Chains A and B, each alone.
Chain A
Amino acid sequence: MAGAAGKQVIIAQSLEEALAALANTGLNAIPVAGGTWVMRAPIRQEATAQLFVSLHAIEELKGIEVASEELVVGAMVSHRQLAIELSDMADLKAIRVAAEKSANPSVRNMATIGGNLCSTNFMSPDLVPALMVCDATIRVQSSGAKTEIPIENYIKTRLVRPNNELVTRIRLPRGSFCSTHQRLLMRKAGEYPVANLSMRLSIGGDGRIADPRIAVASVENQPRRWTGLEDALRGEVASKVKIKELAIDQVKEFTGRDGPDAPGWYRLRILPRLASDALADLTVN
């Protein structure tokens, strides 16, 4: 049967209340953020969960704190709010572009940063690779414990995280680097990217690249860093032509997945172009 007092939807007023409801192992309960993934369960031929635990009223999950060294974003912040708040930040531009360009206007109003992180079966997220290059730290809370997890580790473990745990806040360090996000669609808008790429780096006075970070999603089942290209770029002069050459060489790190949206070979074929477009965007500024 459904949750407390036969309910099928609970609007949690606090984290504790939400976690308690999710911890109830007698039930199939799920957290609901924007709802844009959960509400498509029937289309994925999945059964509807017995209990929806809505997070939209929990204060601690809302809002963005802006400080000079870091930004702290509540898990329930929507794509649209994120894009607005980050509009002048060159260091966090990857996140702003990902938030601004994904999906469509209505979905950007509804879909949250926490939801994007936690939709583990969604193979084409835009925010996730942007968070990866921006060195995000994910704060999670389960009954009694708060933990900070660097995003790399979070992504590696997110398929096996416990049910009674919620992402509460995402910390983003600020600095004198610049970042961007590129996405390739078949049409001009309104669909999931066939491949996307986020990039963050600094360019020294000598025109050489320092601390390059590149993350790719949609090419494989899970997003990840393009370590081969990062290593090849480090210390190189920033050049569109050069990065394309290096990228063509380093694409072998990926296994392109075949999907109804595109064949695997195509995703790999266009990755060097995404890398070069990203660098071009960063060097314009």
Chain B
Amino acid sequence: MKRHLNLNNAVMNLPRRDARDKLLGRTKYTIDAVGSGDLHAVLLRAEIPSAKIKKIDLSAARGMPGVKAVATYDDAPGLHGLGIADTPIFAKDVIRYHGEPIAAVAATTLAQAREAAKAIGVVLEEQGAVLTMSEALAGDAVLVHPDWADYGIIFEGAERQGNIAWEATVVRGDTDGAFSRSDVAIVEGCYSVGRQSHVSFEPRVALASYVDGRFHIQTSTQVPWTVRHVVARVLGVPDSHVRVTVPAVGGGFGLKFDCSLEPYAAVLARMTGRSVSISNTRQEEQMTCLCRENAEIRIRSAVTADGEIVGREATVLMDAGAYGGEQVFLSTMTAHTLGGNYKLGSIKLSSLVVYTNTPPNGAFRACNGVYNTFALEQHTDEICKIIGMDPIEFRRKNVIGKGDIGATGQIFEGDVLKPMLDTAIENYGAHENKTLPDGRLYGRSTTVGTWFIFVGPSSATINLNSDGSATLVTSGVEIGQGTMVQALPQIVAANLGIHPDDVIVKTADTDASGRDLGVGGGRTTVSVGAASEAACAEVRKKLIATASQLLQTKADNLFLSKGRVEMRGNPGSGMTIQAVIAQVEADFGPVSGSGSFTNPGILAEPGCAAGHFIDAIDMPVHAVHDCELAVDPETGHVEILSYRVVQDVGRALNPRAIHGQIQGGVVQGLGYALQEEITINENGAFDQEGFETYRIPTALDVLPIEFVLHEGAPSCGPLGVKGAGEIPILNVGAAVACAVANATGQPVHQLPLTPPRVLQVLDGKDAILNFPHISPVWKDNTIRFA
């Protein structure tokens, strides 16, 4: 197959074709598509975290000017979720979080809908609420889901109990033995992180209409097929009755990796017979954000004097908020991140997804990998301090490589992290102590990270057009990362011997393309790309077969290049692709091909992982980050002096686009590490309601990120690529924390490192963090092994 084309032609800094319209303000995102004929919907949201609903009186609201319909639970019953079906779209008899939707109103204008929502009479009986995981895990805690045992299980194998929505564990080897050795140092620490909010500029928004007995939803989403399924499920119709289309999306970062407002628009569209639009105000967007979860970690390791990690145990508490959502799935990733990076003699991990009466959390660029890497790398530096070993030498000695065994027993395929560490040292130099002239404290860190490419089902169809262009039909969505307008046309073009400008990329439409897991997790280039390559292979086979007859030469002698089918060794002797297409069409009909892709399936060691959705990662992706910073010991401000990255990309298809992802992803990580903080008040609501109080980096807070791209690691992706969009953020919390610890001489146990927190670190107050509700005895933190 590969002999028929030169895939090196795929590599280029192809500019994005959607830039011009975006720069002119012409691009119509879903938020811009709300038209004058559409009804406007708003949600009535709960303003307390926990209550029984005694009565909902819609009579006044229904009679108000402009109101066309009011919907509540009875209009869209049913529970959905990942792993467990625990989530209704409207509160049924119970309020579980501040901001939970109770009803939805559709009216002729937004103002009318808002007035009507205020007129809905709700009688509530306030109940006790658990607002922190510590409260939720207490023996006498109020249950967020008293009926937890009755919920439908979508994915078997996990322990659940009370406010523990899901438990994922890994046990491999004899950690008890490791910790009781006389030749080990035992290092232990507790870590705590808060939530991070995506702040995509386009809020969640959807437009729904009901046409010919089917729903058409236009929405700002990363997962059209998930939206299709969840809308169908809660509306009680077959999946095939829902069509989802997606125009340009104004930012996702994982916020839109779930069904969001679509079901409300759909149910109101059915009730009114009209098209209905709904969007979140910025305040709703912030206060019901599906954040990167807050988490608490206790980790301990047994390490020999020469730096061998013979045992590691850890417990992670992941706050799901009121419903399980993404955190149920993400409990799987502890093993591959907190339990990752290094060779371990034995390991026990427990990840508990905990219900609290707070807004549900979700997925955000590299998810729990970001805080697990922070805890792991800071723990690693503390180990190095205690055993007296250089942090870089320790990492060089211990990072996983070819043939090494991961936490769940999978065998890693290549030597990637060690060469990347060497590249970092070569390019960025050894660590040196520096004194800054202005009295600030200098710190530096080198950290490693492992994440994964979220492979999984994707499908693609290629239609070849008579003019030699190709139409690529997938469910991929352009959220700004560039894959749909750069990587995919590049891959298809290289496979068909045409120019990427001649590849038309159809925007996502579930009526047009096959199922797709969605955009996110770095998967689009890999999974959608692989499916597209498979579709190209079918098309190419048809072209070559016909060309072989036309040119009277063996198929092996032919290759596609520059819009032609050429004969090897005989340049200019072939024919145009248009001519071949015309002949294929005459003989067999219009030329098209389809392809599919899903997880290749890497093996883990049977029996060590429980409650995991993914036992072994099909495509690990790695990073090494080097950070220098200065700490102002009087104000606690941290200024990044340099930030340098080595990133495992497999193959750099569009180096300039990767640069954009690295610059943007690291900056989001700096926000997480230094500035972005969410606090939850006694009403179970976020204190940070918008741009004033939730601080994302401005242009003055950033610096150019330097980087080296590491190519050649094993990858099942097309042309050997790995997704480049997520991994840039993975290590930033770790890099900054370790460098601040280096600068201050004090360990760092909490993020974000806002100026007040840095002063607390300097005062020695951060190190005393301890969790009374996470037992130092590992098995006491599990349901399965307690």
Contacts and interface: CB of A to CB of B under 8 A. Distances in A.
Given A260-B679, A261-B693, A190 B756 contact: no
A188 B670 CA distance: 13
B156 interface: no
B635 A191 contact: no
B756 A260 contact: no
Contacts of B283: 43
Q: How large is the interface on B (under 10, 10 to 19, 20 to 34, 35 or more residues)?
A: 20 to 34
B538 to A, nearest CB: 52
Given A43-B690, A184-B635, A261-B693, A189 B756 contact: no
B634 A273 contact: yes
A97 B405 CA distance: 60
Contacts of A242: none
Interface in B159-180: none
B639 to A, nearest CB: 9
A187 B698 contact: yes
A269 interface: yes
The binding surface of chain A is classed by DSSP as loop
A263 interface: yes
B756 A263 contact: yes
A176 B123 CA distance: 67
Given A186-B755, A262-B756, A192 B692 contact: yes
A270 B679 contact: no
B698 A189 contact: yes
Contacts, number: 44
B754 interface: yes
B677 to A, nearest CB: 9
Interface in A261-284: 261-263, 265-266, 269-270, 273
B753 to A, nearest CB: 11
A266 B755 contact: yes
Given A260-B679, A263-B756, A188 B701 contact: yes
Interface string B46-64: 0000000000000000000
A191 B692 contact: yes
B42 to A, nearest CB: 14
Interface residues of A, number: 18
B700 interface: yes
Nearest to B639: A188
B777 to A, nearest CB: 35
Interface in B730-766: 754-756, 759
Contacts of B690: 43
Contacts of B692: 191-192
B786 to A, nearest CB: 38
B695 interface: yes
Nearest to A269: B759
A263 B756 CA distance: 8
Interface in B1-46: none
Contacts of A192: 692
Contacts of A43: 283, 689-690
Interface in A168-204: 184, 186-192
A96 to B, nearest CB: 20
B635 A260 contact: no
A187 B675 contact: yes
Contacts of A269: 759
B697 interface: yes
A10 to B, nearest CB: 23
B698 A260 contact: no
B413 interface: no
Contact of A189 (B634, B700, B754, B755): B700
Given A187-B697, A189-B700, A266-B759, A260 B688 contact: yes
A266 B693 contact: no
A97 B301 CA distance: 53
A211 B145 CA distance: 66
B501 interface: no
B284 interface: no
Nearest to A192: B692
B700 A270 contact: no
Contacts of B239: none
Contacts of B75: none
Contacts of A191: 692, 695
B687 interface: yes
B762 to A, nearest CB: 11
Contacts of B699: 189
B695 A187 contact: yes
Interface in B671-703: 675, 679, 687-690, 692-693, 695, 697-701
Contacts of B695: 186-187, 191
A189 B700 CA distance: 7
B754 A190 contact: no
Contacts of A273: 634-635
A265 B765 CA distance: 15
A213 to B, nearest CB: 24
A56 to B, nearest CB: 25
A189 B636 CA distance: 16
B754 A186 contact: yes
B668 to A, nearest CB: 14
B700 A188 contact: yes
Interface in B635-684: 635-636, 675, 679
A186 B679 CA distance: 16
Interface string B405-430: 00000000000000000000000000
Q: Give the 8 A-B CB pairs with smallest separation, nearest first.
A: A188-B700, A266-B756, A260-B687, A190-B698, A260-B693, A189-B700, A273-B634, A187-B701
10 contacts: A43-B689, A186-B675, A187-B697, A188-B698, A188-B701, A190-B698, A191-B695, A260-B679, A260-B688, A266-B756
Interface of A: 43, 184, 186-192, 260-263, 265-266, 269-270, 273
Given A43-B689, A260-B688, 4 more contacts: A187-B695, A190-B700, A261-B693, A265-B756
